[in-house]
Chain A
Amino acid sequence: MSILVPGTDNPWKARIAFLAFAGGLLALPGLLGSPGDVRQWAEWLCYAMVAVGLDVAWGYGGMLALGQGLFFGLGAYAMGMHLSLEQVPDGSLPSFMSLYSDYTELPALWRPFQSFWASAAVAVLLPMVIAGLLGLLVFKRRIRGPFFAILTQATAVIFALVLIGNLKLTAGFNGLTGFTTIFGRNKYAPGTNRWLFQIAAVGLLVVLAVAMKVVRSRYGKLLVATRDSEDRVRFLGYDPALVKTVGFMIAAGMAGLAGAVAAPVFGIVSPGQFDYLPSILMVCWVAVGGRGTLWGAVLGALVVNWIRVTVSSSRPDDWLYLQGLLFVVVLAFMPGGVAGALRSWWAWLASAVAGRLGTRRTAMAPAVEPLGETA
């Protein structure tokens, strides 16, 4: 409800929250101090981008995409290939290739990645194209729920296997590494981490702004409607397969962009980072943070990774158990995740205050949205 235009959402609340978040994010490196921490946070911001995209597909669209590692990985490899070529003179082979292969000149697959813009475009567009084809194939056949989850999971596994199996082109299990210069900057120079953080922050803000725009649009409402009742959407004259495919493509594009930013932040791009296990963790971030709210997805990615690094630096063996426990506790007691819990707590507080003041204005706090079929 809005005081501005009856019958529409008030966009200003979200806009102000967004600006506050942007300000806080850009000020963060000043508060962190150590360059290692700054780099660490830059990495988490990339995860948050993936989480936001996944939330669009899963939280809003009800598609439990268990293979986002594929799209994250495609983006990371696209940029990683560009960075590998940056380390050697124009036209010559990346260092691993002269070691593992008998190529005498750059393979055709690698040539486009000499250009930064081509690499960036591939990083975002290739995941979207693949998600589009996969989505049409799957959703037109009305495959959904756990079948979709398993299918996407399989794509991440296949991706990792293909990378490992093509040693000559991908450096196999070891992955692409040794990025001593990043877009012309010395990786070890002071300020490089901060600069990478800022790129990641801008990336996250862009992703978040696009996602907010999408979920508030008519299409966003249609996506939620499709999540709640696919058949009803069909009888409104929409093709749910297309609606879902677009949502899946948005998630894939965001994961691809996140990967492209993550490649220089990680400093290494290898198959293990994009396998099924990281893909499942991405879903955990969103679940813990609260699916169906974009802020929840960001919060989930940051909080879970913060706990991970904090715990595993002091007690490395305990993290896996703690992570499992965290996931179970959240699913059992906070189905709306941290964001959902905060929201209902806030609603309770508001109604308590309103009751105290004796106003008759009942707090119209939105109940936690009913979640999709893939609960």
Chain B
Amino acid sequence: MKPVLEVCGVSVDFDGFRALDGVDLSVARGELRFLIGPNGAGKTTLVDCVTGLTRPTAGEVRFEGRSIDRLSEHQRVRTGIGRSFQTPTVFDSLTVVENLDLAESFRRSPLTMFLRRRRVTDGVATTLERVGLSAVADRPAGALSHGQKQWLEIGMLLVQGPKLLLLDEPVAGMSPQERLDTGALLHELAGGDQTLVVIEHDMAFLRRFARKVTVLHEGKVVSEGTVDEVQADPIVREVYLGRSRDARSGAVPSPVAEPVLEAVTGSIGETG
């Protein structure tokens, strides 16, 4: 299948610090891809390169076969790339409905923007239902709980109908039930014309919902595959256990590594 997103040899330098080092990534249409890696691995930087917040020092990002490196952030959104942030940013002084309506209105002609919103559009009403915020629709977004803000942020993405969604730690700070709901929603969204790339640390969440996982470490892709494949990969173990590079030549992972890996990544999920 033709990839929707292609990251070809992308490197990013921040004043001498190499945040990304020749990353290659290819995500197919309709895929649900998880990005994991220890802190500072470059996951968010990679997403930033796709959305335009960071410009690659080298390499190219292609969306639907076309290079998007010259497009500014809002132009990339208009081509169909949506993203959420680690800390949910919604517009606190606007109501929930106004937040969603503003997200949906980005394709409106400039002139109709100068008209008053006279009703709740169908798209906004459907999204309110979907993210479970109908009861607080007229509340200022600033009055929502953290979890609700996260849902609102996801709703603002959905209402735009992007072809590629990039979610940065969507379940951080959510209750166990909210995590399950989010996971179910991710599966519901992915497929067909919609592609998802999700940064997530939570191992339990990954085990339950991830299909394909890409592991980043120190700005490089070190492994790719299913959760089981990735967890069995000695390099991944090394990355998470922080063992010295010399140990890698030993190749045979110690039998205790598996539970330790579980524990380490699990704890990262909780703190992150």
Contacts and interface: CB of A to CB of B under 8 A. Distances in A.
A216 to B, nearest CB: 5
Contacts of A235: 51, 73-74, 77, 82-83
Nearest to A229: B89
A355 interface: no
A236 B115 contact: no
Give the interface SS of chain B, mostly helix, strand, loop or mixed.
mixed
A111 interface: no
Contact of B138 (A1, A239, A370): A1
Contacts of A232: 85, 89-91
Contact of B120 (A7, A9, A213, A239): A7
B118 interface: yes
A225 B77 CA distance: 17
What band does the interface of chain A fall in when counting residues whose beta carbon is under 8 Å from B?
A: 20 to 34
Interface string B32-53: 0000000000000000000101
A213 B91 CA distance: 21
Contacts of B180: none
Given A217-B113, A225-B102, A234 B91 contact: no
B78 A214 contact: no
B222 interface: no
B149 to A, nearest CB: 12
Q: Give the interface centre of A11, A231, A237, A367 by most chain B CB atoms within 10 Å.
A: A237
Interface in B101-119: 101-103, 105-108, 112-119
A358 B60 CA distance: 65
A6 B93 contact: no
A346 interface: no
Given A224-B91, A228-B92, A229-B91, A7 B116 contact: no
Interface centre among A218, A219, A236 (most CB of B within 10 A): A236
Interface in A351-375: 366-367, 369-370
B127 interface: no
Contacts, number: 98
Contact of B93 (A11, A214, A228, A236): A228
Interface residues of B, number: 40
A225 B120 contact: no
A235 B140 CA distance: 20
Contact of A5 (B89, B105, B119): B119
Which residue, of B73, B137, B156, has the highest number of chain A Cβ atoms within 10 A? Answer: B73
Contacts of B113: 217-219, 222
Contact of B117 (A218, A231, A366, A367): A218
Contacts of B89: 229, 231-232
Interface in A221-254: 221-222, 224-225, 228-229, 231-232, 234-240
Given A7-B137, A218-B113, A369-B93, A236 B106 contact: yes
B106 A217 contact: no
B91 A225 contact: yes
A228 B142 CA distance: 11
A222 B117 CA distance: 12
A104 interface: no
Contact of A222 (B92, B102, B107): B102
A222 B112 CA distance: 13
A370 B142 contact: yes
B169 to A, nearest CB: 16
A11 B118 CA distance: 10
B160 interface: yes
Contacts of A370: 92-93, 142
A237 B140 contact: no
B26 interface: no
Nearest to B97: A7
B72 interface: yes
B119 A7 contact: yes
A232 to B, nearest CB: 5
A8 interface: yes
Contacts of B101: 218, 221
Contacts of B108: 218
Which of B93, B118, B120, B142 has the most CB atoms of chain A within a 10 A radius of its CB?
Answer: B93
Nearest to A368: B93
A237 B74 contact: yes
Contacts of A234: 72-74, 77
B94 interface: yes
Interface string B113-150: 11111111000000000000000011010100000000
B114 A214 contact: yes
B69 interface: no
A1 B96 CA distance: 12
A218 B102 contact: yes
28 contacts: A5-B118, A5-B119, A6-B120, A7-B97, A7-B119, A7-B120, A8-B118, A8-B120, A218-B113, A221-B101, A221-B102, A228-B91, A229-B89, A232-B89, A232-B90, A234-B72, A234-B74, A234-B77, A235-B83, A236-B77, A236-B102, A236-B160, A237-B78, A237-B106, A238-B106, A239-B72, A239-B74, A370-B92
Given A5-B119, A218-B117, A221-B102, 12 more contacts: A7-B119, A8-B119, A11-B116, A218-B108, A224-B94, A229-B91, A231-B89, A234-B73, A235-B51, A235-B77, A235-B82, A239-B74
